[in-house]
Structure 1
Amino acid sequence: MWHMIVLDEEQKELGRRQAPGSCPYCDGKVEAMDVEIQWKFCFLPMCFKIKRKFFCTSCARRLELFF
């Protein structure tokens, strides 16, 4: 008997804009990107989330916010 779980994650960029502040590593500009993430199970959409990701335009590092 074979068991196969088919999970897929799809990311779609919704938009970009300049964020306030500067990169703590290189003092470059920070850009915010809104991303829609959709999970699929056997080609059927299960759920989706919209997240905002921050990254530096100079050194291309992904930046995270800690509260």
Structure 2
Amino acid sequence: MCLVCLCDEEEIELGRQQAPGSCPYCGGKVQMLDVERKWMFCFVPLCFKIKRKYLCSSCDRRLVLYH
């Protein structure tokens, strides 16, 4: 008997805006991305999240905010 497991992760960009401040590495502009992520198991959605990411527009580094 053979069991095939199909798992998939899908990431869709919803929007992009300019964020205040500058990149600490190169001094470039910072962009704010809203991203929708879906995890699916055998074509059945398991999890759905919307996250916000910060990227530098010059050096393409992902920036992390610490509160």
Task: Normalising by structure 1, report the TM-score.
Answer: 0.91
Q: Distance in 1 between matches of 2:61 and 2:44?
A: 33
Instruction: Provide the aligned length of Structure 1 versus Structure 2.
Output: 67
Q: Distance in 2 between matches of 1:21 and 1:5?
A: 44
Q: Distance in 2 between matches of 1:17 and 1:23?
A: 15
**What is residue 22 of structure 1 aligned with on the other side?**
22
Q: For structure 2, which runs of at least 5 residues remain unmatched after alignment?
A: none
Q: For structure 1, which runs of at least 5 residues remain unmatched after alignment?
A: none
Task: Normalising by structure 2, report the TM-score.
Answer: 0.91
**What is residue 55 of structure 1 aligned with on the other side?**
55
**Ranges of 4+ aligned residues in structure 1 off by more than 4 Å:** none
Q: Name the SS for the 2:15 alignment partner.
A: strand
User: C-alpha root-mean-square deviation of aligned residues, in Å?
Assistant: 1.0
